[in-house]
Amino acid sequence: MKIFSRRKLDPRKKDTGPFYVTAQGLAGLKQQLAHLKSVLPGYIAETARTAAYGDRSDNAEYKDAKGTLRRTNYRILELEDQLKRAEIIKSGFNSSGIVELGSTVVLSAGQSQKSFQIVGPHETNPGEGRISHQSPLGSALLGHKKGDVVKVKIANAWLEYGILEVR
């Protein structure tokens, strides 16, 4: 049985590579950051208010307020780091015809057709047709063009997709 830690990653091992994001995703990150910075003074005040109750070792309200403040500060630092490393994924017409970040790819899988936009890992939503360039299918599609057949191993099966169109 595996035990999963609630901690995300070792904070000493920061991701220093580019943070790929669409223009809409970048606007969303900026909006999140502005919101968190606007509510931060309230969290600080709440932590100070509950700290005044006395003994902090048995003060559940203080512990909750302090936890909320820590999570908010961590998220602000995370967002600021992502915004510093942000590289915009250009979407629109793909004149090269080669699948790259931002491309929309129409695939045939047997009798059905599926359309996917290749985005960064933080904006994926397969239900809306947005897959990461790091996913098995996304990474297999990169560098291919219309007419190519791509084989992807998912679970214990190999799936074949024909590329019908690259936009």
pLDDT in tens, 12-58: 567 788 999 999 999 999 999 999 999 999 999 999 999 998 888 88
How many CB atoms neighbour CB 97 within 10 A? 14
Question: Where a domain ends, among 88, 113, 137?
Answer: 88
> Residue 97 and residue 68: Cα distance in Å, rounded?
47
pTM of the full structure: 0.79
Instruction: Please give the pLDDT value at position 56.
Output: 83
Domain count, the chain: 2
Strand partners, 150: 161
Of the candidates 121, 11, 124, the residue with the CA atom closest to the CA atom of residue 77: 11
How many CB atoms neighbour CB 21 within 10 A? 23
Q: Are residues 40 and 69 in the same domain?
A: yes
Q: Are residues 70 and 119 in the same domain?
A: no
Residue 3 pLDDT exceeds 50: no
Instruction: Please give the pLDDT value at position 55.
Output: 85
In a domain, 99, yes or no: no
Domain of residue 49, residue span: 19-88
